[in-house]
């Protein structure tokens, strides 16, 4: 084995281990058995985005979930041709888990504010992994329901009469 092959294998192993460590910290994956999480870690890929790139766009079907490893992005909504900033998304956020569960159109656009690296997984790969572990679905649904409940609870707690801050809390489809 030459030194380039050794470096590639070591790099792949290291990236796989990093992916596994990341997934174990994301609520969507953290309660899953280790063997299943290992499969998901193997199926994830890292994607680079330049500042200004769209990770996904409003009204398009997107079949990926994104974990922001580095950089930041801006969540946007276009209404009647006018672009509204919903909020900024930072390192450590996991976005798009509902896209893993079912076909859907994005309600928002996500544009990189800085150069970014994201850990991504597609619905196709996610579904294939679930076929190996069919008992995971109830656990995943429970996590999604808990996320939606937490979002609604925060929304209600922060709602004011004029609701000027409401847009900062919108994003249930990102759960």
**Alpha helix ranges (H) inside 26-173:** 27-30, 34-43, 97-101, 123-132, 137-158, 166-169
Token pair listed for 46: 């890292």
Count of domains forming the chain: 1
Predicted local distance difference test score (pLDDT) of residue 160? 57
pLDDT at position 84 over 90: yes
Domain for residue 10, yes or no? no
**pLDDT at res. 161:** 54
Q: Which CATH number do you get for residue 50?
A: 2.60.120.10
The confidence score (pLDDT) of residue 47 equals 97
Query: Can you tell me whether residue 114 is helix, strand or coil?
Result: coil
**Domain membership flag for residue 77:** yes
The pLDDT of 59-86, averaged and rounded, is: 94
Report yes or no on 39 lying in a domain: no
Residue 5 has pLDDT above 50, yes or no: no
- pLDDT attached to residue 141: 87
Residue 64 lies in a domain: yes
Element (H, E) at 17: helix 3-25
Name the more confident of 40 and 150: 40
Percent of the residues in the chain that have a pLDDT greater than 70, as a whole number: 82
Note down the domain range covering 139: 44-174
pLDDT at 142: 86
Contact indicator for 75, 167 with CB cutoff of 8 Å = no
| Residue 45: per-residue pLDDT | 96
Q: What pLDDT score was predicted for residue 6?
A: 43
In 3-state terms, what secondary structure has residue 53?
Answer: coil
pTM of the model as a whole: 0.79
| pLDDT tens track for 21-66 | 999 999 999 889 999 999 999 999 999 999 999 999 999 998 999 9
Q: Indicate if the pLDDT at residue 2 is higher than 90.
A: no
Residue 67 CB neighbour total at 10 angstroms: 25
> Which one-letter DSSP state was computed for residue 101?
H
Q: Which long-range contacts (CB under 8 A, 24 or more apart) does 133-137 make?
A: 133/32, 133/33, 133/35, 133/36, 133/39, 136/32, 136/33, 136/36
**Reading across the β-sheet that carries 73-79, which strands appear in turn?**
54-56, 109-112, 73-79, 82-89
User: Is the model's pLDDT at 138 over the cut of 90?
Assistant: no
Supply the pLDDT for residue 151: 76
Phi and psi at 119, nearest 5°, equal -90, 125
The answer, yes or no, to whether residue 73 has pLDDT greater than 90, is: yes
């Amino acid at each position: 084995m030459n030194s380039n092959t050794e470096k590639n294998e070591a790099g792949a192993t290291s990236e796989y281990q990093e992916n596994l460590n990341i997934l174990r910290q994301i609520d969507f994956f953290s309660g899953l058995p280790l063997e299943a999480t290992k499969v998901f870690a193997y199926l994830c890929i890292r994607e680079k985005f330049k500042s200004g790139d769209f990770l996904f766009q409003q009204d398009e079907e997107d079949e990926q979930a994104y974990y922001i490893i580095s950089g930041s992005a801006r969540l946007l909504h276009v209404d009647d041709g006018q672009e509204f900033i919903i909020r900024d998304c930072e390192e450590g956020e996991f976005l798009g888990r509902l896209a893993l569960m079912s076909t859907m159109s994005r309600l928002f656009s996500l544009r990189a504010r800085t150069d970014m690296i994201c850990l991504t997984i597609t619905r196709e790969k996610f579904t294939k992994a679930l076929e190996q572990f069919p008992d995971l679905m109830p656990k995943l649904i429970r996590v999604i329901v808990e996320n939606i409940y937490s979002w609604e609870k925060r929304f209600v707690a922060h709602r004011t009469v004029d609701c000027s801050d409401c847009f900062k809390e919108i994003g249930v489809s990102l759960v």
